[in-house]
Amino acid sequence: MKKNKAMIVCFILPCLIALAAVYLYPVVRTVLMSFFAIDSVTADMSGWTFYGLGNYSRIFNSSTYRLAMWNMLRIWLVGGIFTLSFALLFAVILTSGIRFKKFFRAAIYLPNVISAVALATMWIQYIYNSDYGMLNRILGAFGLKGVKWLGTDMKFWAMLGAFIFGAVGYYMLIFISGIERIPQDLFEAATIDGANKVQQFVKITLPLLKGIIKTNITFWSVHTTAFFLWSKMFSPIGTESTTIVPVIYLYDTVFGSQGNAARDAGAGAAVGVTLAVIIVLIYAVMNGLLRDDDLEF
């Protein structure tokens, strides 16, 4: 047993150090930072001055931050509806007895595997390009006028569209695994009783997918709070009001942005804590919802 003790300690220690170094210590310090006035992120603790909830009231009074939150909300709601609807649609199609199911499934999931930076570059430089872009060519073939997809009016929706395209596959896989767990005899019995495909979907598939839908909404919400890369790619040099999201706001306030040398690590920490609280709330709400009727089948 003594031998085991030494082994346990040796085996667990590196993992413990990793947890403490990149999770425990940074999280505690970030929470502390959000209550202090700190200019530079590298400032020593002795240079911090207690600020109470000042950072929070400052960010919530900042119109840029409110805009960032509003954009995040739009991404969550509009993007969520489209992504999860497409994902569910594809999941239902792929489990309906279609041929080449494995190939289709792999092809739809593909954008999740390739570098998102490369994917975003392809969308920006090709699909949305106003000179030779794919979308304007398609519009032109129908005799329609091209749209400036990357102009101020359309940029947000262009970004969201590209993001949805990349995200659908992941949620589709989760839906597929949920649908495949539903026993086939339920559908067979319904078919014998004369229910058509739509009725089967509404009366059998949807109710039994409640838990999976909940999981997907949770994942989508957490995914949205971390939204950064696509916004950075669509406004690579200077942050723009059309594409700003909270993580971009945090990045700019902590590390500085073009034409703005003022830095505020305290406010940045407050943004981080706000996002973390949102994630905790999402988990709490989702675990409270639908808890009682978790179906066993």
Partner 1 sequence: MAKKEKVVYKEKVNWKKELSLLPGYIIVVVWIGFTAAFLLWIIGASLSTSREIFSGTVLKFESGIHFENYVSAWKSQNVSIFFANSLLYAVVACTGVILISAPAAYVLSRFEFLGNKVMKSGLIVAMSIPSVMIIMPIFSLTTRWNIRGRILLIVLYIFMNVPSTTVYLLNFFATLSKTYEEAAAIDGCPPAKAFWIIMLPLVQPAIVTVTIFNFLGVWNEFFMALIFASSEKMTPVGVGLLQIVNAMKYTGDYGGLFAAVVIVFMPTFLLYIFLSEKIIAGVTGGGIKG
Return the range that interacts with partner 1 (CB under 8 A); candidates 55-63, 141-149, 186-194, 261-269. 261-269
CA distances from 99 to 93, 169, 245, 279 (A): 10, 18, 41, 39
Q: Give the integer Cα–Cα distance in Å for 54 and 68.
A: 19
Determine if 87 is a binding residue for partner 1 (CB under 8 A). no
* In 181-226, alpha helices (H): 184-192, 197-200, 206-208, 210-225
* CA end-to-end distance (rounded Å), the chain: 43
Return the range that interacts with partner 1 (CB under 8 A); candidates 56-64, 73-81, 142-150, 229-237. 229-237
One residue of 68, 84, 232, 244 binding partner 1 per CB under 8 A? 232
Determine if 142 is a binding residue for partner 1 (CB under 8 A). no
Determine if 8 is a binding residue for partner 1 (CB under 8 A). yes
Determine if 208 is a binding residue for partner 1 (CB under 8 A). no
One residue of 78, 93, 147, 182 binding partner 1 per CB under 8 A? 93
CB of 258 to partner 1, least distance (A): 11
Return the range that interacts with partner 1 (CB under 8 A); candidates 52-60, 128-136, 141-149, 284-292. 128-136
- Residues 37-66 within binding reach of partner 1 (CB under 8 A): 41-44
- For partner 1, give the closer residue by CB, 59 or 108: 108
Give the Cα-Cα-Cα angle 37, 39, 44 (nearest 5 degrees).
85
Q: Give the integer Cα–Cα distance in Å for 147 and 128.
A: 9
Return the range that interacts with partner 1 (CB under 8 A); candidates 51-59, 125-133, 141-149, 286-294. 125-133
Determine if 132 is a binding residue for partner 1 (CB under 8 A). yes
In one-letter notation, the amino acid at residue 176 is I
Q: Hey, is 273 helix, strand or coil? A: helix
CB of 204 to partner 1, least distance (A): 18
50 torsion bin: left (phi>0), alpha (psi -120 to 50), beta (else): beta
Return the range that interacts with partner 1 (CB under 8 A); candidates 49-57, 61-69, 72-80, 245-253. 245-253
CB of 114 to partner 1, least distance (A): 4
Residue 37 pairs in a beta bridge with 49
Determine if 11 is a binding residue for partner 1 (CB under 8 A). yes
- For partner 1, give the closer residue by CB, 102 or 145: 102
CB of 221 to partner 1, least distance (A): 11
* In the chain, alpha helices (H): 2-19, 25-33, 54-61, 63-74, 80-94, 101-109, 116-122, 134-141, 155-180, 184-192, 197-200, 206-208, 210-225, 229-234, 246-255, 265-288
